[in-house]
Amino acid sequence: MAYTIFDKGSNNLLRIAKDQTFLNANKGFQDEHMDIIEISDNDFNNVKYGLTIFGSRNDSTITWNTVSPAPRFNWKEELTGHKNKIIEDLNTWINNESNTSKPMRDSVVSYRDYLNNLDVSSIITDPSESATINESFVYSDGTPLTSSIEKYAEDQGQTAYHTLELL
């Protein structure tokens, strides 16, 4: 089972954790200051891969909202900007002194380095100037990335972290 972590008594989702072992090894907080709520592995993966976002919470019941449209990057520039934002968030976490001794740190650094070296041109071919687009934002040509960058990285064998996983 996976977990969501909220400020005590609030609807402010702070983090997610893939399991109890990961949570215990990497958390930097006292449990009594947080509400830690168990969620299914499927819910965890849906958040991690950008398929759902937090909607609301009623005690230990969480409502997720489906992301529509699902993650899709049609343009190299779009994916590059998203990749750079993730790298910025990872660097902020890596450079935080309180994270230097966390077991997940080396893996986060590895993911950051993977993203730094990721050639967006090898993933996406931009649509041509003559491409048409339908109501689902699908172009008539070009090769988009039809998943989140986290899902793509994991499909390539790289451990990836959604920013909500950065305990």
What is the pLDDT at residue 1? 95
- Domains of the chain, residue spans: 2-66, 76-165
CA distance 78 to 57: 32
Nearest C-alpha neighbor of 51 from the set 36, 64, 70, 29 = 70
Q: Is it the case that residue 141 has pLDDT exceeding 90?
A: yes
Please give the helix or strand (H or E) that residue 39 lies within, else none.
strand 34-39
Tell me: pLDDT of 135 over 90.
no
Taking the C-alpha atoms of residue 89 and residue 153, their distance in angstroms, rounded to an integer, is: 17
pLDDT value at 36 more than 90:
yes
What pLDDT does residue 28 have? 87
* Higher pLDDT among residues 167 and 70, named by residue: 167
pLDDT at position 68:
86
Rounded to 5 degrees, φ, ψ at 54 are -60, 135
* Rounded mean pLDDT, 7-11: 92
Residue 134's pLDDT band (cuts 50, 70, 90): very high
Q: What is the pLDDT of residues 48-105, one digit of tens each?
A: 999 999 999 999 999 999 998 889 999 999 999 999 999 999 999 999 999 999 999 9
> pLDDT band at 136, cuts 50/70/90?
confident
pTM, whole model, 2 decimals? 0.93
